[in-house]
Structure 1
């Protein structure tokens, strides 16, 4: 079955998360992705050994690729890369700052040499200013972008538990590549794309940055509550079980008080009439809710919320999510056998939902060298 990027060739010198994420999702869409690895391999291969001795991170980020081991300081291997580049549609890389320029693979030169090629340079902070040469990893960018300052409890900041800056950058990169390919279809010219991790995360931080610049930035670090909407957070039911509820407007609030708390009069309390009032008096509001929820089992609370049409969710563990009825998974072949991975969230109805295998280190080196040999 035809996929959207069938016939496209992507050359990717990628490692860790951001660039591999982009390249793997281009492979999902049908692109042929040649991944360049050093002799010891992408260091993400060693992040963990949880899948029969192989890395869960690497499996997640590298399905559908071909692995070519190459020494970028070897003139013959560099010549091989240029021969591949001459036929490629996209060149993607996230090496350390300045590394591609030193190798003669800088995007300025490549764009002149291969006009139809789109180049994608993923960095930490861009290539201008005092941060241009700084190495950047997800945790560091979470800190630099202000994300950590709005994450956690009032008493303690916290790291977001997934590589959110890397993933955001990889998603933006994929979108930019698709836009570049559409543009090339009209102009015949590739594009030069530069993407910093910092830029991806500050884009997602926009509401708080705008509050800071033009209004009043209220306290954001309030644990399992929403900083701007109330009630929107975790509450304790009888037996200590927790449930997350979300009341979006004053109409829902009144219905929540009447049908769930059993006291519509709470909605008319001057401390709780509007969302702004409820946020300002969050402690008293929470006492009123916990006073009722603490007498009811979580199942009973769920029943009452469902009948009232109030949104709620369980605070699941990772183990719980593996059993979640909404979780979709697809099989992927790996060097250690078939594993089930999370399916992409966007579904093309009726389209092929199969993905290429995860490569072993250097699995395709001989075949690629033969295919792109001189002459």
Structure 2
């Protein structure tokens, strides 16, 4: 039995944050009914065509869901939404600010009719405050949260290569929903969860915030290197390949000097005798390390790092990750159906085939509309009227 088997989730979602949240629930066995706009659906369906004509973002965040197309501005379609909510456990939405209030689907309205319903609202800035009505997307929140100020190189900020603000908000939505389900089991009542993308990202920014507390200098933009721990980042070997390595303490620094760069006297050099000193003199230390690596291949550098017990990694690209030996050895890949055919998919972290995570198909737009309407008791005539009115 899957942990969330029997839990019904209704969602008005688009882009990444809410779909990523509800996909986690689906992975654990929840039934997720995704309500989409007729004709176009979730606009993430059209971000690209990289997966045999399907969008890469969409196939990532929408497996194991049922797609129902409804024009909720149509009264009869809105009636269908309420039929779905009548026995739902969770309602998740990340529509534009104010949209659910205009539809009468805000928490204050819904809690009267469905007191056991858990409502999770995901927005850029939260339900109140001066920015509550401001639209937000992932990159904008990366900027607003200060994330861009600590990435990239000096004067050249760089966004994260994946949608980290969306992912952060989605995961806080997911964990809060799990907690709310446990709480409801004790109280019998639903609740509202108000997830702000900004707050989710600022929580993740706590280390640089504390580093800059009381007006102190923020962490510098250090490219792919760590801003305040050194050496911790990429270094080029003599064969032109890059090795990522990281030191975390003085014991590792001693071994790095003795075994890796074979300059034991450096461990007592006043410039490098503590992490804060090594960070302060990173330019000089970088020169020493690169010079030591110049006569070695990347494989030889890694061999020395392994001998010293110092953490290291390869600089992989996406093609390397698809064939990563560790993922293959742990049997982390499975297959998922899509409207364009079968694609590989990673098992949810923490779950494997023995746990039977739900890994069902990515839905076509409106694929489940008729089946769900019939389940709700609508006959062919009623469905025909909705279709004629362009309500589905």
TM-score (norm 1): 0.97
Determine the structure 1 residue equivalent to 2:27.
28
Larger deviation, residues 242-251 vs 343-352: 343-352
User: What is the 5 A alignment of 1:181-192?
Assistant: 181-192=181-192
**Which runs of 5 or more structure 1 residues have no equivalent in the other structure?**
none
The 1-side partners of 2:326 and 2:174 are apart by 25
The 2-side partners of 1:216 and 1:345 are apart by 38
Determine the structure 2 residue equivalent to 1:154.
154
Give the conservation status (yes or no) of the 8 Å contact 1:208–1:217: no
The 1-side partners of 2:249 and 2:299 are apart by 24
TM-score (norm 2): 0.93
**Which runs of 5 or more structure 2 residues have no equivalent in the other structure?**
380-392
Q: Deviations over 1:250-287 (max 9, x none)?
A: 11101110011111101111111111111111111111
Q: Deviations over 1:314-369 (max 9, x none)?
A: 11111111121123222111111111012211226831144111111111101111
Determine the structure 2 residue equivalent to 1:330.
334
Give the conservation status (yes or no) of the 8 Å contact 2:208–2:219: no
- Specify the SS of the correspondent of 2:363: coil
Aligned length: 374
Query: Root-mean-square deviation (CA), in Å?
Result: 1.4
User: What is the 5 A alignment of 1:259-298?
Assistant: 259-298=259-298
- Specify the SS of the correspondent of 1:271: helix
The 2-side partners of 1:308 and 1:24 are apart by 41
Q: Deviations over 1:34-60 (max 9, x none)?
A: 000001111111011111111121111
- Specify the SS of the correspondent of 1:350: helix
- Whether 2:165 is the aligned partner of 1:165: answer yes
The 2-side partners of 1:373 and 1:194 are apart by 33
Determine the structure 1 residue equivalent to 2:355.
351
Determine the structure 1 residue equivalent to 2:135.
135
Determine the structure 2 residue equivalent to 1:69.
69
Determine the structure 1 residue equivalent to 2:369.
365
Q: Relative to 1, partners in 2 of residues 1:130 and 1:218: Cα closer, same or farther, differing over 3 Å? A: closer
Give the conservation status (yes or no) of the 8 Å contact 2:115–2:189: yes
Give the conservation status (yes or no) of the 8 Å contact 1:232–1:247: yes
Q: Relative to 1, partners in 2 of residues 1:222 and 1:60: Cα closer, same or farther, differing over 3 Å? A: same
- Specify the SS of the correspondent of 1:238: coil
- The structural deviation recorded for 1:128 is 1.4
